Structure 1
Amino acid sequence: MYFKSFFNQQLAQMSYLVGCQKTGEAIIIDPLRDLKPYIEAAEQEGLTIIKVTETHIHADFASGLREANETLNAKAFVSVLGGEDWTYKNINGEYELLKEDDIINVGNVKLKVIHTPGHTPESISFLLYDNASDVPMGLFTGDFIFVGDVGRPDLLEEAAGIKDTTEIGAKAMFNSLKKMDELPDYIQIWPGHGAGSACGKSLGAVPVTTLGYEREKSWAFQIKDEATFVKTLTSEQPEPPYYFKEMKHINRDGVALIDNAIVPPLQNLYDGVKIIDLRAKEIFLDNLSDGINVPYNSKFLGFVGWYLDYEAPIQLIGSFEDVQNAANDLKLIGFDNVIGYVKNVTGGSMQQIEPQHFKSIDQTQINILDVRNNQEWQESHFDNAKHVHFGKLEKEEIPFKKDERIYVHCQSGVRSAIAVSVLHRLGYNDIINIKGGYSAVKQYNR
């Protein structure tokens, strides 16, 4: 048997290639749209990718299932267990619908289907066997079981807008975990995500675990009462980026095959087209553009996903390398409409204030905008502050007038730079960024 995992840092996402070296056949599990890493790994082992499958209709990235189905002629295997609303559509190549206890054979390797709803209704897990033994090796859990956590049940309601599904999903997750009682402790757990993903609230950074370890250490296995489990699972989940709504529909209905064209340079940025400024926040704050400052780094997709309109193009500001990499990363979440870029722009600077100086100001007499997430706000905040999540500034009401002076902060200064760029773009003309954010001010208080 051949086994290889692939980790994408931007999405904190795991995908897998499993093959039979005797027959030369292989299958991809939960692939991204960019198939090159899987093809390269398969060819190095003398394998041919003949099948592709996934654990569920993903909400956080654009699936490569149809990409493999059409470009590699890999037979697709997808769940039929999600009901009418969450049944796969528009699979153009050969495919098979999966239900409980179905088997996918890949040479002398097999995957047995276990229906594990909770994160989504159609969610399935795959129990891996080598046909030389009746003893299972491990479980591909997708967004069912993570290291130290389980998948959130609220995305259909919070991201896709399907009302009253969160509690139903949480109860389904409780029952899915009970199915694990039938499996031994030594079963390896190969999850779909690690730390940094918004598909759960406390995912561990370790890429693999065992069922026995999770039974001992994960909170989800400790709670035996359904009502308590539901309350715990549905509380304090992170806010899902707006693009999650698009992903559920894209992955159910299909997206155009990936286009690897180079993003061209522009002589000038187009008026009326949204700009994403990829430069580091320090450069942006000293040299403003009319764009939203989302620096190109390992957190790029998690931040930029709040500001994308899938019906409209964007243009970028940044170096050639950063622009091409950012455009390729955007394709991972199904956004292909980057029309061009410029390397740099010349503009004024943003007002900033040191934390010790901010501390000396009478905070009851100024406007403070806290752009952190809900959990951070609820844990502690400045008494006179108003709260709007940094990703929601374009769509929610901002509690200050455009000509008022506003002091903006997040936890450490990264998200506030994004926030001030949004406010600047919206026409707020007296914004002051608090350097180092809330933590720096509190540190100075000591």
Structure 2
Amino acid sequence: MYFKSFFNQPLAQMSYLVGCQKTGEAILIDPLRDLTPYIEAAEKENLSINYVTETHIHADFASGLREAAVILNAQAFVSGHGGDDWKYKQLPDQAVTLTDGYVIKIGNVKLEVIHTPGHTPESISFLLTDHHSKAPMGLFTGDFMFVGDVGRPDLLETAAGMKNTTALGAKQMFASIGKIKNLPDYLQIWPGHGAGSACGKSLGAVPMSTLGYEKENNWAFQYNDEDQFIDALISEQPEPPYYFKEMKHINRDGVNLYNNDIIAPISKLNSLALTIDLRQKELFSENMSNGINIPYNKKFIGFVGWYLDYDMELQFIGDYEEVQKAAAELKLIGFDRVSGYMPTNKIRGKRYEQIEPEVFKSLDKKINILDVRTDQEWNDSHFDEAAHLHYGKLLNETVPYEKDQTIYVHCQSGVRSAIAISVLKKQGYDHVINIKDGYSAIR
């Protein structure tokens, strides 16, 4: 048997390639749209990718299931659970619908389907067994179970707008955990995400685990009372970026196949397109553009996902290499509408105002303070005088101050407040002041 995992850092996402070396067949599990790394790995091992499957309809990235089915002519296997609202659409004719107990055979390797709802109603896991052993080797859990955590049950409600689904999902999660408790402790656990994903609240950074270890250390296995478990699961989940809503529909209904087009420079910015300025906050603060400043770094997807409009073209301000990388990452979440970029040497602007934490602390506190951190950070501690609005919601919710007022803006360390300053400036708030280094420095 051949086994290889693939980790995508921007999404903290895991996908897998499993093959039978005797027959030369292989299956992809939870692939991304760009099939290049999977094809390269398969060819290196003299394998053909004949099959593709996924554990559920993903909310945080655009699935490569249809790419594999169309481009590689791989037979697709998808969950048949979940009800009418979340059944797959526009799949290739040869696609197979999976239900609990179904066995996918890849040469002398088999994957047994276990229905494990909770994160989503259609969620399934795959129990892997090699023909050399009667005992199963491990479990591909997708977003049902992670190292140290389980999948959040609220995304259908908070991201996709399906009311009254959170409590039901939490109840299903409790039952799914009970369902796998009787499996052998030695089973390896191969999750769909690691630390950094918003699909849970306390994911571990270790890429895999064992079921026995999780029974001992994963918080979700420590509850025997269903109501207590549900309360613990629902509480303190991070806010999902707005783009999650689009992912559920894209992955259910389909999207145009992946392409790797080059993003070309433009001589003039389009006023009707969303502009994202990729420069680091220090450079942006010295020479502002009229774009939203989201620096290109390892957290780019998590930040930019709050501001995307999938019906609107997007243009970048940045250098060639970072523009191509940023556009490629947007394709991972199904956004293909980057129309061009303006080189940074063509931008002329003025700096925005900042204040040192020590100077801020000396001010009369009868001032306007806007805290743009998460709900959890706000609940943990905040200034009594401050108003709170998550930095990602500034374009969609009412800012609690007037445009002619002076506003002091802070996050925890200064990164998200710089993004917030650019959004507020774009909306016509001309008297905004960034508190350098944020709440932690002020405290």
2:113 corresponds to which residue? 113
1:402 corresponds to which residue? 403
1:111 CA drift (Å): 0.4
CA contact (8 A) 1:69 1:93 kept: no
Equivalent of 1:354 in 356, 361, 378: 356
Distance 2:253 2:309 in 1: 18
2:255 corresponds to which residue? 255
2:321 corresponds to which residue? 321
1:346 CA drift (Å): 1.2
1:158 corresponds to which residue? 158
Q: Deviations over 1:13-61 (max 9, x none)?
A: 0000001111111100000000000000001111000000000000000
Distance 2:291 2:131 in 1: 56
2:387 corresponds to which residue? 386
Q: SS at 1:378's partner residue?
A: helix
1:407 CA drift (Å): 0.4
CA contact (8 A) 1:265 1:341 kept: yes
TM-score in terms of structure 2 length = 0.99
1:369 corresponds to which residue? 370
Distance 1:91 1:323 in 2: 32
1:149 corresponds to which residue? 149
TM-score in terms of structure 1 length = 0.98
1:92 CA drift (Å): 2.3
Q: Deviations over 1:87-113 (max 9, x none)?
A: 100012521000001001111111000
CA contact (8 A) 1:154 1:166 kept: yes
2:423 corresponds to which residue? 422
Distance 1:71 1:82 in 2: 27
Distance 2:184 2:368 in 1: 57
Q: SS at 1:368's partner residue?
A: strand
1:232 corresponds to which residue? 232
1:15 aligns to 2:33 (yes or no): no
CA contact (8 A) 1:293 1:417 kept: yes
Q: Which amino acid aligns with 1:391?
A: G
Q: Deviations over 1:349-391 (max 9, x none)?
A: 010011111111122x110000000000000001100000000
1:123 aligns to 2:115 (yes or no): no
Distance 1:92 1:214 in 2: 37
**Alignment: residue pair count:** 441
2:412 corresponds to which residue? 411
Q: Which amino acid aligns with 1:210?
A: T
Distance 1:403 1:294 in 2: 25
Q: Which amino acid aligns with 2:138?
A: G
1:334 corresponds to which residue? 334
Q: Which amino acid aligns with 1:187?
A: L
Q: Deviations over 1:289-314 (max 9, x none)?
A: 01011111110000100000001101
1:263 CA drift (Å): 0.6
Distance 2:311 2:9 in 1: 26
**What are the within-5 Å matches in structure 2 for residues 299-310 of structure 1?**
299-310=299-310
**What are the within-5 Å matches in structure 2 for residues 192-211 of structure 1?**
192-211=192-211
Over 4 Å off, 4+ runs: none
Distance 2:110 2:323 in 1: 41
Distance 2:290 2:27 in 1: 45
1:296 corresponds to which residue? 296
1:104 aligns to 2:104 (yes or no): yes
Q: SS at 2:181's partner residue?
A: helix
Q: Which amino acid aligns with 1:354?
A: E
1:272 CA drift (Å): 2.2
1:33 corresponds to which residue? 33
Q: Tell me, which stretches of 5 or more residues in structure 1 are unaligned? A: none
Alignment RMSD: 0.6
Distance 1:225 1:74 in 2: 43
1:157 CA drift (Å): 0.3
Distance 1:181 1:198 in 2: 25
1:24 corresponds to which residue? 24
1:184 corresponds to which residue? 184
1:95 corresponds to which residue? 95
Distance 1:93 1:284 in 2: 50
**What are the within-5 Å matches in structure 2 for residues 61-100 of structure 1?**
61-100=61-100
Distance 1:279 1:94 in 2: 46
Question: How many percent identity over aligned positions?
Answer: 68
Q: Which amino acid aligns with 1:222?
A: Q
Distance 2:182 2:440 in 1: 46
Q: Which amino acid aligns with 1:163?
A: K
Distance 2:126 2:274 in 1: 42
Q: Tell me, which stretches of 5 or more residues in structure 2 are unaligned? A: none
1:223 aligns to 2:219 (yes or no): no
Q: SS at 1:339's partner residue?
A: strand
